[in-house]
């Protein structure tokens, strides 16, 4: 049976997800076949001459932007109406067990949500059967994860992802709760960005109390709240008013100014930016802040156009990278469409000097 790559994405961004897969295939030196990309929040692509080692290296060298979670396997496989556990164990045995986890997944669509109730009922039965069959390596996170993506209760894609390159969460979706005290839902976007771009150990070292941050376009204060909650001293820049507890937080200084024009008097540890503006203008802003040493690290959003969204992200990536390369600076730059993003992607840039 031919190898397939399955990638979860946001519904409506299947074309951009397909572009991610083509870029990975080129880097891995494999041939990939992607047909039509219906609006179903995942892509299933056939791959010829698949080489696992080269594929893993390609993911590390060219991290996907719009694909939330990737796995490699086979499918789609039909399932019987009654005993589904037995054929699923057969599929699992063909995928080089043991596994560190079994993830039952669905498409992130309204149709997928109707299948999730079926998966919740099936999960404990399959987990117990897989454990009894010796297919699970309990406690060994280095082993691959087993993905079972149900496009319906009677059809499944099966595959695995490596711990080093796969998503930390089923379907690439972290389970985050909206903080009650946060003044806006945008707060959860920055929380997810910290989870995705910073490792567990990094978060403790790079988000320490007493560090200094600037939030450009801060109102109503969702991102400022996330920073202040971690003990950072935040300059919140926006002509509009802040809302909620951040207005009186002693760690927050509200500066009524244009976020695109504001510059700090001395360098800060972090700059964050969620301004609604053309992506290229935000990219130029990020390039200026980082290349001039105004901040060491930044997390920012690019609001994407309706067309050529993938090309626009790559253009902004090149704009920032070229500016930093001209300054002969070492840096890390990544982009990702996070689960809590909408028509946008989140970027992370850090000076390495």
Q: Give 209: exposed, middle or buried? Use CB within 10 Å, 0-12, 13-18, 19+.
A: exposed
303 is catalytic: yes
Work out the widest C-alpha separation in the chain, in whole angstroms: 68
Rg (CA), the chain: 22
Contact present, 170 and 105 (Cβ < 8 Å):
yes
Q: Is 223 exposed, middle or buried (0-12, 13-18, 19+ CB in 10 A)?
A: buried
**Catalytically annotated residue among 143, 189, 303, 307:** 303
Q: Are 116 and 62 in contact (CB under 8 A)?
A: no
Name the E strands within 13-57: 31-33, 42-48
Q: What is the helix (H) or strand (E) element at residue 120, kind and residue range?
A: helix 110-132
- Residues with a catalytic annotation lie at 303
């Amino acid at each position: 049976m031919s190898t397939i790559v399955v990638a979860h994405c946001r519904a409506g961004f299947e074309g951009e997800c397909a572009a991610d897969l083509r870029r990975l295939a080129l880097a891995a030196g494999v041939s990939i076949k992607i047909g039509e990309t219906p609006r179903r929040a995942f892509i299933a692509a056939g791959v010829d001459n698949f080489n696992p080692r080269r594929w893993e290296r390609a993911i590390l060298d060219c991290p996907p932007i719009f694909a939330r979670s990737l796995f490699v396997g086979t499918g789609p496989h039909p399932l019987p109406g009654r005993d589904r556990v037995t054929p699923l164990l057969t599929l699992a045995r063909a995928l080089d067990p043991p596994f560190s986890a079994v993830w039952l997944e669905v498409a992130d669509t309204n149709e997928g949500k109707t299948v999730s109730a079926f998966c919740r009922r099936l999960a404990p039965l399959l987990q117990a059967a897989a454990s009894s069959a010796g297919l699970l390596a309990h406690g060994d996170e280095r082993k691959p994860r087993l993905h079972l993506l149900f496009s319906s209760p009677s059809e499944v894609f099966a595959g695995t992802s490596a711990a080093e390159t796969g998503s930390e969460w089923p379907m690439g979706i972290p389970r985050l709760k909206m903080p009650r005290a946060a003044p806006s839902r945008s707060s959860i976007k920055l929380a997810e960005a910290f989870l995705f771009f910073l490792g567990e150990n990094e978060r403790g070292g790079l988000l320490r109390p007493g560090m200094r941050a600037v939030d450009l376009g801060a109102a109503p204060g969702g991102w400022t709240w996330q920073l202040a909650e971690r003990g950072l001293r935040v300059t919140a820049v926006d002509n509009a008013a802040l809302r909620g507890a951040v207005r009186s937080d002693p760690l927050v200084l509200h500066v009524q100014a244009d976020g695109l024009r504001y510059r700090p008097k001395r360098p800060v540890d972090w700059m964050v930016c969620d301004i609604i503006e053309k992506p290229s203008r935000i990219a130029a802003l990020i390039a200026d802040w980082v290349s001039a040493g105004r901040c060491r690290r930044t997390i920012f959003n690019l609001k994407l156009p309706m067309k050529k969204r993938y090309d626009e992200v790559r253009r902004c990536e090149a704009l920032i990278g070229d500016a930093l390369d001209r300054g002969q600076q070492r840096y890390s730059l990544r982009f990702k469409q996070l689960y809590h993003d909408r028509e946008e992607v989140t970027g992370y840039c850090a000076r390495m000097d």
